[in-house]
Structure 1
Amino acid sequence: MSIYLLGRDIERAIDCADRIRIYKEQTSRETSVPIKYIFTEIPEHKKIDHYTKAGIDAGQLVSMYQYLTDNDSLKLSIKTEKKLEELKESLHYTGIIHLESEIRLVKGGYVIAVILLDERDRDHLWGICYYSYTKLLRMEVYTDRIIFSNSYITAASENGLYAKLARRTFYNRDGSAAYDQVFEGEEEKFLFPDGRVFMRMQVVEEFIKVLDLSEEDVVILDDSVPSEFMQAVFTFGKAAQFAALAHIGHHSSREKKSESRFWNGYYYDWFPYAEMLDTMVVSTEEQKKLLLEELEEYHCHVPAIRVAPISGKFDSAALYEFYNGDFVLRWNYKGSADGFWIYDELGMRIYETNDVNRHHFMIKSLRKESGFFIKAFVNTIKGKMAAAESEQIYFSGEKFVNILDMQETLEYLKDRQTSAARFGDGEINLMTGHSIPYQDYDEELAKKLKQIISNPDHDNLLVCLPDIFERRERYHAECSSFWERHLEQYRDFYAEVILGGKCYGSAFLSRPYMDLADKSISGKHFQNLKTFFADKNILIVEGFYSRSGVGNDLFQGANSVKRIICPSHNAYSKYGMILDTIRQHGKDKLILLMLGPTAKVLACDLAYEGYWALDIGHIDSEYEWYKMGAMHKVKFKNKHAAEFNFDENIELENDDIYAKEIVAMLADQQ
């Protein structure tokens, strides 16, 4: 006897796990029989890792693609060191770079191979990529041996050149090719060594035949099953017993129905197959009652209907003070839901959201003794039904945002030798989908910035925010007014990404002069910065026109100064090259990053690799203005000035000391 869960992807299967356990108990199924999870997509490492983290053994996973080979193992067992030695013997390389999640072999400044490491056990690998002059040629994916490989060709799109998947080869245990998957436009063809050529539907049918379902087997169908699988399993696996999971939760209510998906969020999609179903599983007694009524109304066969509740709970919920008298309600919810309701302490519903990823709510003019509670709901054919409820929530007494002042931030970085990533209005604009003068919007960059700002709990990285949430009278009127407007525009975004009660550094670490109403404190801060830089070997990573410290004594006390010169605009387009160059020159140095939004991602990646990297931004402009006694922002004629973002009419001067400090020129200008 085997029990199979048939679904489209891994995340859905994990959502189903508790309900399947309840179903097994209710039907007196042999509870010791492990469930086999059949998924219809390629067995990607990250998805397999997602299963194992959820407590599901890799031996329970069944991939359609691998099942048609004689190698169905999804457990990683290839030793990293052994494969590295093989590559060192077979490839002509000049260097090896060890990173947290990968090992790179390089030649002549180019990466020629990358070993992709298991995140939870770096002694094992899950893949290898091969390159030729930055072009991806081939990717191999491993478990206990190679399971498949991807072959790529260089293709053009409106966004430029990219690596296009052309062929995927699946392997038997002895390394021979089991079959090839060939991509031709929108079509997929599967070529077998015996001459058979299948389309995808035929491959699905072949898989169900090979599965060889018997009358003792149970197939549990989740409502994400692709339509071709539904047809194949009822045609070629009809000897088995079938149970359908209906109303599993939020996936079915939000997705738009398409021909490739079986479900559209209602019971009715199951009705044509009711004769084939032995059991239907719903979430509540009310759903069971409704389903019975619908089946009888449409004169359908009525299978056994069992109730297996959706599991979900609120892990935490808290109410924080935000700014200007506003409060933020934040919560964490685990389980399936279609949205959330928020109630006041009297039980009056005050808010509803259908965004299951939104776990915050802004509250204005709150009495601090007020209370709230939250309910998670799921959609049903007859409306929304509560699935879980939080405890009563009262004001925690904590501020939502806790930011160290400039001096505290500097001391924190100095004492702990922690890296820093500073976020300002430019990064917020990028994360919300807008370009800024010196960096075009880039989806990947925006995503990485959001990951960094949303996860401040890293021992080696201090995330810094603008110190604007209180006491804005510290800044001159124009500056205070700017940040007031900024907060009004982005208050909801800050409420989304900030973790309540956490400690952040001040992004104004590098803005200690011009915006302050009382500029008398600036001299002490600049002196503390120069003391901080003193006797250190410094690597400056900056734009072509920045020339930080040139013409002033900001880094005069440093033991040494070296520079990597990068593009002044759209530096992120050369991110990989910049990062690799820093690795070559940044060992045992204090790395000062002056490269806009790109500096934030660099600071994070370098911190993970054990470097000390500070995103120090426009400190040079601030120091120059301080020395001038300027009361407004002044453009410099011989280098970049903050807020003068287009670098127009700059006359660069010859400077032998500056020229000798440059160890790499990555900017296009010469």
Structure 2
Amino acid sequence: MRKNFPFYKVETLAETLDEIITHKKNISRFGDGEFRLVLNTSGIGFQNGSIELTERLREVLASNLPNHLIAIPETFSLKNNLNWRVKFWWLNYINTVGVQISQHLKPEKKYSNAFITRFYLDYETKKHIPNILKKFKKIWEDQDVLIVEGAYSRLGVGNDLFDGVKSLKRILCPTKDAFSAYHEILSEIKTHGRNKLVLLALGPTATVMAFDLAKENIWTIDTGHVDLEYMWYLQNAQEKIPVEGRLVNEATEQLNLEIPTNERLKYEKSIIKTM
């Protein structure tokens, strides 16, 4: 039972992706970590908290740019296809901090779905996945793509997720506390990301940055865990397992971070800046 927390209008995964494809909108995603930072400045493990970050996240939540989507968890809505473990976890989360979160949300607004990048593990049935992956690949098909990610995120390395792009370059950022380098990262994107599709995998930093880049008319998507979910999907994983060559914050173990030899040259050639 939800304690004093209303049901919000949240688009389906497909509706959110269609909005991005059709109108080339930026998207900022708010998950449990971002909302914890909205409520306080204590940090969330890989991202230190600060008054500035909390204020910026609140600014994004309250914003209304025509080329920018604000995404919240599907669990804030009346209906979802999530498995019982996920539903139970989120019910506990809502009962703990839902009242405070509701002060920053608008009951009349229809939000985008933050779970677009969590399309696999958390869902009870998986029949939607081929269509969701098709839509994701449609977003960056024939696009010049700039990936801005943590140094060990390595989106697309060892899979075919970005095989349809026109070109792909990378800016590598700190693996922890990326917000401390926010203005430097933003400056590099303004230099290298114009007339490109920018994909961000930087935790809460990406949530704010996708908003700021919307004001610059640089098409930007907060892609979060999409690559890890795809790897888990390909491996038919039943839980958050470690993935070779990547730093997986949510896995209890960590595999070798070395990139396979047959992938290394292509990956290294894609890097245009390390911060």
- Per the shorter chain, which TM-score range? over 0.9
Matching residue's letter, 1:453? L
1:173 alignment partner in structure 2:
none
Following superposition, the deviation at residue 432 of structure 1 comes to: 2.0
Q: Secondary structure at the match of 1:504?
A: strand
Following superposition, the deviation at residue 558 of structure 1 comes to: 0.4
1:652 alignment partner in structure 2:
258
* Unaligned stretches of 5+ residues in structure 2: none
Alpha-carbon distance between aligned partners in 2 of 1:617 and 1:452, rounded to the nearest angstrom? 17
Following superposition, the deviation at residue 325 of structure 1 comes to: 8.5
Larger radius of gyration: 1
For the pair 1:664 / 2:273, whether they are aligned, the reply is yes
Following superposition, the deviation at residue 500 of structure 1 comes to: 2.0
1:638 is aligned, of 239, 242, 245, to 245
For the pair 1:459 / 2:66, whether they are aligned, the reply is yes
For the pair 1:440 / 2:48, whether they are aligned, the reply is yes
For the pair 1:574 / 2:204, whether they are aligned, the reply is no
1:560 alignment partner in structure 2:
167
For the pair 1:449 / 2:61, whether they are aligned, the reply is no
Mapping of residues 16-165 of structure 1, within 5 Å: none
Alpha-carbon distance between aligned partners in 2 of 1:535 and 1:554, rounded to the nearest angstrom? 13
1:506 is aligned, of 104, 109, 113, to 113
Q: Secondary structure at the match of 1:556?
A: coil
Alpha-carbon distance between aligned partners in 1 of 2:43 and 2:208, rounded to the nearest angstrom? 17
1:406 alignment partner in structure 2:
13
For the pair 1:623 / 2:230, whether they are aligned, the reply is yes
Alpha-carbon distance between aligned partners in 1 of 2:5 and 2:91, rounded to the nearest angstrom? 17
Normalising to structure 1: TM-score of the pair?
A: 0.39
Matching residue's letter, 1:448? R
Matching residue's letter, 1:607? A
Mapping of residues 232-251 of structure 1, within 5 Å: none
Following superposition, the deviation at residue 491 of structure 1 comes to: 1.3
Question: CA contact under 8 A between 2:243 and 2:255: conserved in structure 1?
Answer: no
Mapping of residues 359-438 of structure 1, within 5 Å: 401-433=8-40, 434-438=42-46
Alpha-carbon distance between aligned partners in 2 of 1:430 and 1:565, rounded to the nearest angstrom? 24
Q: Secondary structure at the match of 2:128?
A: helix
Distance 1:552 1:327, change over 3 A: closer
2:154 alignment partner in structure 1:
547
* Number of aligned residue pairs: 271
Question: CA contact under 8 A between 2:37 and 2:54: conserved in structure 1?
Answer: yes
Alpha-carbon distance between aligned partners in 2 of 1:650 and 1:569, rounded to the nearest angstrom? 19
Question: CA contact under 8 A between 1:541 and 1:566: conserved in structure 2?
Answer: yes
For the pair 1:528 / 2:111, whether they are aligned, the reply is no
Matching residue's letter, 1:444? E
Question: CA contact under 8 A between 1:618 and 1:642: conserved in structure 2?
Answer: no
Alpha-carbon distance between aligned partners in 2 of 1:325 and 1:497, rounded to the nearest angstrom? 16
Alpha-carbon distance between aligned partners in 2 of 1:596 and 1:665, rounded to the nearest angstrom? 18
Following superposition, the deviation at residue 563 of structure 1 comes to: 0.4
Distance 1:628 1:327, change over 3 A: closer
Q: Secondary structure at the match of 2:127?
A: helix
Normalising to structure 2: TM-score of the pair?
A: 0.93
Mapping of residues 289-300 of structure 1, within 5 Å: none
Following superposition, the deviation at residue 423 of structure 1 comes to: 0.3
Mapping of residues 162-311 of structure 1, within 5 Å: none
> Deviations 1:462-517 (Å, cap 9, x if unpaired)?
00000112456611121111111111112112220001211110000111101000
Question: CA contact under 8 A between 2:246 and 2:257: conserved in structure 1?
Answer: yes
Alpha-carbon distance between aligned partners in 2 of 1:636 and 1:543, rounded to the nearest angstrom? 15
Q: Secondary structure at the match of 1:499?
A: coil
Q: Secondary structure at the match of 1:519?
A: coil
Matching residue's letter, 1:630? A
Alpha-carbon distance between aligned partners in 2 of 1:492 and 1:566, rounded to the nearest angstrom? 35
Matching residue's letter, 2:44? I
For the pair 1:518 / 2:125, whether they are aligned, the reply is yes
Matching residue's letter, 2:52? E
Following superposition, the deviation at residue 616 of structure 1 comes to: 0.8
Mapping of residues 339-354 of structure 1, within 5 Å: none
Question: CA contact under 8 A between 2:82 and 2:124: conserved in structure 1?
Answer: yes
Q: Secondary structure at the match of 1:546?
A: coil
Distance 1:473 1:587, change over 3 A: closer
> Deviations 1:374-397 (Å, cap 9, x if unpaired)?
xxxxxxxxxxxxxxxxxxxxxxxx
Question: CA contact under 8 A between 2:171 and 2:273: conserved in structure 1?
Answer: yes
Alpha-carbon distance between aligned partners in 1 of 2:79 and 2:217, rounded to the nearest angstrom? 36
Question: CA contact under 8 A between 2:145 and 2:168: conserved in structure 1?
Answer: yes
Question: CA contact under 8 A between 1:543 and 1:567: conserved in structure 2?
Answer: yes
For the pair 1:602 / 2:209, whether they are aligned, the reply is yes
1:487 alignment partner in structure 2:
94
Alpha-carbon distance between aligned partners in 1 of 2:234 and 2:203, rounded to the nearest angstrom? 23
Q: Secondary structure at the match of 1:458?
A: coil
Alpha-carbon distance between aligned partners in 2 of 1:527 and 1:495, rounded to the nearest angstrom? 33
Alpha-carbon distance between aligned partners in 2 of 1:415 and 1:642, rounded to the nearest angstrom? 33
Q: Percent identity?
A: 34
Alpha-carbon distance between aligned partners in 1 of 2:73 and 2:131, rounded to the nearest angstrom? 20
Matching residue's letter, 1:436? I
* Unaligned stretches of 5+ residues in structure 1: 1-322, 329-399
Following superposition, the deviation at residue 643 of structure 1 comes to: 1.5
Alpha-carbon distance between aligned partners in 1 of 2:104 and 2:179, rounded to the nearest angstrom? 22
Following superposition, the deviation at residue 648 of structure 1 comes to: 5.1
Distance 1:486 1:474, change over 3 A: same
1:360 alignment partner in structure 2:
none
Question: CA contact under 8 A between 1:640 and 1:650: conserved in structure 2?
Answer: no
Distance 1:551 1:507, change over 3 A: same
Alpha-carbon distance between aligned partners in 2 of 1:522 and 1:604, rounded to the nearest angstrom? 27
Following superposition, the deviation at residue 450 of structure 1 comes to: 1.0
1:295 alignment partner in structure 2:
none
> Deviations 1:494-552 (Å, cap 9, x if unpaired)?
22000121111000011110100001221221122112221111100000100000000
